Homo-oligomer: A and B are copies of this chain.
Amino acid sequence: MCGIFGIMGHPEAANLAYLGLYALQHRGQESAGIVSCEGTAFHEARHMGQVAEVFPGEVLRRLRGDAAIGHVRYSTSGSSELGNAQPFRIRYHAGEIAIAHNGNLTNAGTIRKQLETAGSIFQTSSDTEVILHLVARCRLANVEEALVDALRKVEGAYSIVVIARDRVIAARDPHGFRPLCIGRLDGSVCFASETCAFDLIGAEFVRDVEPGEIVVAERGGVRSVHPFPPAPAHRCIFEFVYFSRPDSRLFGQSVSLARKRMGAELAMEQPAEADIVVPVPDSGMNAALGFSEKSGIPLEFGLIRNHYVGRTFIEPQQSIRHFGVKIKLNPARDLIAGKRVVLVDDSIVRGTTSRKIVTMVREAGAREIHVRISCPPTIAPCFYGVDTPLRAELIAANNTVDEIRRFIGADSLGYLSLEGLRRAVGSSQGFCAACYSNDYPVPVEGTDVAQMKLFEKPRR
């Protein structure tokens, strides 16, 4: 779970990277970083924390130059330390480069071991650093050729932007797991994980970087190469369900509309006799609207989200029931009391949060509670870039739907089917849905899959 941004040829490169990262903040709140290039001088700022806090004006002013790349991170691989905050920047025999990476390499461990035996010193625990050492070991002086050489050796999911003295390079792995888009602003070229970054800076969306494509933006223009053999597409379907912002266009479609269609499909597959449809804010909003429209059951904003949630919150010693949920959500009792409620959310991971929400809504006076989830049960961890809890912690990996229903205390529980989800995103092919199907399109080295963590959804 990361967001990346790159821009070449704009006098305010770092400022625009900053804004681009700000628009991509939902993809990672743990750390943020920008590397800019001014002639041959690189400037860098990386911090733990969110974009709007960690780049005060004086820091941004230091990031001079007409090229920049940036990264927001929610740890996928590597631990939570500043040292793992990207972009990573190195000096090697052919000069200086920096890289920002979204995704997860599946053979990083093997390569790292080989490189260390040969005398390489790794500075981080991140899989991304493997790419840099492969580039440094390559005798080719041309950074683009060395990068292609390095990427030929790695497997798995990567959307990356790389900055060198005179160019910004964007690359997407041959399967296209993670998104990456090309934009244009005042004659400069920019790259971003999602189109919402272009909206904020006023850039025009041009097209997606294609799976397996490498796009090189230089001061003189843009080039594209396809150095890898063709491969089947495995775009991440979870980006539609939860991860991407609703105002983004993703893999050629509107995220908002896809979610509304999920809600409509859900209303057909899993109807409910009820008085009102209540979304779990904010990710369940569009699906709830789709459900309401298709079912004819009126929508109500029966759960109110607190907008001032801080990073660390002191819980009183004397336990308050459902405190962790209450600090974020509060029911509007007068809307809910005495009603039969359809509660629409986009996932149940461990089940504990859903259980608290259901209890809270029932205590607010709901007569019946029918939980509807706008995707299939999450049964398998992701190895392609979404941060995940262990499979053992995953309620749907180990329980039937009815067991889950009883655990969360709902009167009924219904999930959207994988076919319904595929209908909603308009295609039965070209997507990775391993987290719903346990069917991994790219093998993962030495993984005891049962022990891996499954995605832990940060509420936004």
B-binding residues in A (CB < 8 A): 11-12, 15-16, 18-19, 22-23, 25-26, 29, 50-53, 55-57, 60, 90-93, 116-123, 132-133, 136-138, 186, 196, 199-202, 245-247, 249, 254-257, 282, 285-286, 289, 293, 298-301, 304, 306-314, 316-318, 320-321, 326-327, 330-335, 460
Contact = CB atoms under 8 A, between A and B. Distances in A.
In order of increasing CB-CB distance, the 7 nearest A-B pairs are: A52-B310, A254-B334, A119-B137, A15-B316, A25-B308, A247-B304, A247-B332
A260 to B, nearest CB: 9
Contact of A12 (B18, B118, B317): B317
Given A93-B119, A119-B93, A119-B133, A26 B308 contact: yes
A316 B12 contact: yes
A256 B123 contact: no
26 contacts: A12-B316, A12-B317, A15-B314, A15-B316, A18-B314, A19-B316, A25-B306, A51-B310, A52-B309, A52-B312, A60-B314, A90-B123, A92-B119, A119-B120, A119-B137, A120-B121, A121-B123, A199-B330, A200-B326, A201-B316, A247-B333, A256-B334, A257-B334, A289-B299, A299-B299, A307-B307
B286 A301 contact: yes
Contact of A327 (B200, B311, B321, B330): B200
Contacts of A18: 314
B460 A314 contact: no
Nearest to A14: B316
A217 to B, nearest CB: 19
Nearest to A25: B308
Contacts of A254: 332-335
Contacts of A201: 316, 320
Residue in A60, A120, A186, A317 whose Cβ sees the most chain B Cβ within 10 Å: A120
A460 B306 CA distance: 9
A210 B132 CA distance: 42
A130 to B, nearest CB: 12
A394 B12 CA distance: 35
B196 A330 contact: yes
Contact of A301 (B22, B289, B317): B289
A122 B300 CA distance: 50
Nearest to A292: B299
A94 to B, nearest CB: 9
Contacts of A316: 12, 15-16, 19, 201
A404 to B, nearest CB: 27
